[in-house]
Amino acid sequence: MAREGVRGVAFLDNAPFHRSRGFQEAAEGWRDRGLAVAYLPRYSPHLNPVEGVWRRAKGFLMPRRHYASVGELRGAVTEAMDKLRRRLEEEVLQSLCVGT
């Protein structure tokens, strides 16, 4: 996707808010500054790496319950992301130590 004046491309899924009028208007401004927007094919979570992150966070790292506030949910997501980061760091460390 080589275009004159484009310095970067943001690939998005087809969530309704990514197709909204407000989002499209914002994307026009981004294009003017060198950021193009492209969409992944529908029903292709395997092409969107963050889907795997959310699947692990929601499926294994966050308690399944009702959160009373956005702040409480944000705290649970932050804690889940920290746990995921630590697990990934441990996995990388273990993989580096295997050959030594």
- Per-residue pLDDT tens digits for 54-91: 888 888 778 788 899 999 999 999 998 899 889 888 88
41 and 52 co-located in one domain: no
Q: Give the per-residue pLDDT at 62.
A: 83
Structure confidence at residue 69 (pLDDT) = 94
The residue segments making up the domain with residue 27 are 8-46
Q: Is 58 helix (H, G, I), strand (E, B) or coil?
A: helix
Global pTM reads 0.52
Instruction: State the chain's mean pLDDT as an integer.
Output: 85
Reply yes or no on whether the pLDDT at 2 is more than 60: no
Contact 70, 44 (CB under 8 A): no
Is residue 38 domain-shared with residue 59, that is, in the same domain? no
66 lies in the same domain as 93: yes
Domain total of the chain: 2
C-beta separation of 24 from 49 below 8 A: no
The radius of gyration computed from the CA coordinates of the chain, to the nearest angstrom, equals 18
